[in-house]
Amino acid sequence: MRKSSAEMVENMNMQEYIEEAEQALLHTYNRYQIVLERGEGVYLYDLEGIKYLDFVSGIGVFALGYHNKEYSEALKTQIDRLIHTSNYYYNIPAINAAKKLKAASGMDRVFFTNSGAEAVEGAIKAARKYAFLKDGSTDHEIIAMNHSFHGRTFGALSVTGTEKYRGPFEPMIGNIRFADLNDMESVRKQVTDKTCAIIMETVQGEGGVIPAEETFLKEVKALCQERDILLILDEIQCGMGRTGYFYAWQRYGVKPDIMTTAKALGGGVPVGAFLMTEKVAERSLGAGDHGTTYGGNPLACAAVEKMLELFETQSVLEHVRETAPYLEKCLDQLKDRYDCILERRGLGLMQGLVFDRPVGEIIDRALEEGLLLINAGQNVIRFLPSLVISKANIDEMADILDSCLEQVCTQGDPDGQA
Ligand SMILES: *Cc1c(COP(=O)(O)O)cnc(C)c1O
C-alpha cells in the first residue's frame, strides 16, 4: 500500500530532511547538521528529541524564551481577529505598539518594518531626505564604521564595514565613508561639508561584540550637534534589554536622532522599526516618501505590544542586570583557565570571548555536547542567551564549554589562576 505524502513526511528522519533542504534551499548558509523542532524556555529540541541549551536564541530574537504562553496566546488571539490590513488604514496593535515603543525608547516617531535591514534602509532614507531639505543637493555623505554590520540589502550593505560582504555586489549606494569605532580622530578625518549622518551599532554584534566607548559616543554626538549631522544608532542586536537597558545608548544618555530596532522586538515574528526625534520627523520623510505592504501589520504589532508588556510585567531589565555580572564572572573564569582565550568583552547579556584561533571547532564540539553557540567573526564566540536565562543555565553552559575547551585548548598554569 502506498503511503500518503503526509505519512512519508512524518517518517522522514533528520538526515533525510537535511538532504531535502540541500536540494530545495539556496545554499547561502553552511548550516549545523540538526533540524530543530520545538523549544521550551531556554532549551531547543531537535527532531531526534535531543535537547540543547540555547545561547544563541535565534540571534538574540527569542528574548523571553521559547514557548512563552502569554506571548503565544496573544498571537493566537490576533490571528483569529485580524492578521493584515495594509497601511492605508489604522490598526489598534500598531497604535499600541508604537506608543509603548516611544515610551521605552524616548524617541518620538515610529515606522514599522519587516526586518532589521529594512529599518536601516529607512534610517538612511530619512537622513538623506533631512539633508536634502536643507540644501536641495543630492550628494550627501554618510560615515559608517569598519567591522559594522547593518544588514544585507543594498543600503544596509553599503554601510556595512566588512569588505567581503560588499565586494561582489558593487556598486553600493554612493558617498559612504568608513571610520573606526572608538577612534574619534578617524571619524573627524571623514567629516566633510557633505556629511549628513554617522551610523553605528551601539555595541557591534557580528563584528566581534565590541561596545562603543562612552567617551567616543559622547564625542560623536557633540560633533553631530555642532554640524547638524544626524546620529543613527543601530540597536537591532544590542537593543531590547540585552545590555540591561532598554536600548544600549540609554546607559550613556547619548540619544540618537534616528534609531533602528528589530531582532527581539517581535520575539520571533519578523518585525523591525526605525524611530526618530520630532525634529527629524518634521523635516525628513513625508507622505509618499516611504512605505511597506506588511510593515506594522496587526499580527507583527501584536507581537511587539506583547513583548513590551512582558518586559515590564516580568521585570526583564532587572533580571538582565542581575544575571549579566554572573555570566561575565563565569566567562572570566574560563578566560583565566585557558590560554587560548585572549579577552572577554561585551555588555550585559551580549558577550564575546576572543580566542587566539578560529572558534568553529569549539562551537561544533559544544553542539555535540548539547550547547548552541555562535561566532562573531572567525575568532570570537558570541553569547546571546535568552534574557530570562538563570544562573543555573549559565553554570550549565560554562561546564559544557569548559569540557569542550579542555579538549581543544591547553590549560594555563593551574597555580597561576587568579
Ligand atoms: C541582524 C542585524 C541587522 C540586520 O537585521 P535583519 O533582520 O537580519 O535584516 C542589522 N543590524 C544589526 C546590528 C544586526 O545585528
Question: What single-letter amino acid sits at 92?
Answer: I
Continuous segment of H or E residues that includes residue 308? helix 298-313
Query: What does the alpha-carbon distance between residue 146 and residue 284 come to, in Å, rounded to a whole number?
Result: 27
pLDDT of amino acid 417: 46
The ligand 1 atom at the shortest distance from the C-alpha of residue 201 is 13
Q: Compute the C-alpha angle 324/326/332, nearest 5°.
A: 105
What is the Å distance from ligand 1's center to 56 Cα? 14
Among 57, 145, 149, 243, say which to mutate for ligand 1: greatest number of ligand atoms within 8 Å of CB: 149
What is the Å distance from ligand 1's center to 7 Cα? 38
β partners of residue 231: 198
Whose C-alpha lies nearest to ligand 1, atom 5? Answer: 116
- DSSP for 69-105? HHHHHHHHHHHHH-S---TTS--HHHHHHHHHHHHHH
The ligand 1 atom at the shortest distance from the C-alpha of residue 270 is 7
Phi–psi pair at 261, nearest 5 degrees: -145, 150
Query: What does the alpha-carbon distance between residue 265 and residue 258 come to, in Å, rounded to a whole number?
Result: 17
Question: What single-letter amino acid sits at 208?
Answer: G
Query: What does the alpha-carbon distance between residue 86 and residue 94 come to, in Å, rounded to a whole number?
Result: 11
pLDDT of amino acid 7: 55
| Among the listed residues 203, 225, 235, 151, the one whose alpha carbon sits nearest the alpha carbon of residue 380 | 203
What is the Å distance from ligand 1's center to 236 Cα? 6
pLDDT of amino acid 410: 76
What is the Å distance from ligand 1's center to 150 Cα? 5
pLDDT in tens, the chain (418 residues): 455 555 555 678 999 999 999 999 999 999 999 999 999 999 999 999 999 999 999 999 999 999 999 999 999 999 999 999 999 999 999 999 999 999 999 999 999 999 999 999 999 999 999 999 999 999 999 999 999 999 999 999 999 999 999 999 999 999 999 999 999 999 999 999 999 999 999 999 999 999 999 999 999 999 999 999 999 999 999 999 999 999 999 999 999 999 999 999 999 999 999 999 999 999 999 999 999 999 999 999 999 999 999 999 999 999 999 999 999 999 999 999 999 999 999 999 999 999 999 999 999 999 999 999 999 999 999 999 999 999 999 999 999 999 999 999 876 655 544 4
pLDDT of amino acid 378: 96
The ligand 1 atom at the shortest distance from the C-alpha of residue 238 is 13
pLDDT of amino acid 8: 55
The ligand 1 atom at the shortest distance from the C-alpha of residue 59 is 1
> Cβ < 6 Å from ligand 1: which residues?
115-117, 120, 149-151, 201, 205, 234, 236-237, 262-263
Query: What does the alpha-carbon distance between residue 371 and residue 402 come to, in Å, rounded to a whole number?
Result: 12
- For residue 369 the three cell numbers come to 555536547
pLDDT of amino acid 11: 76
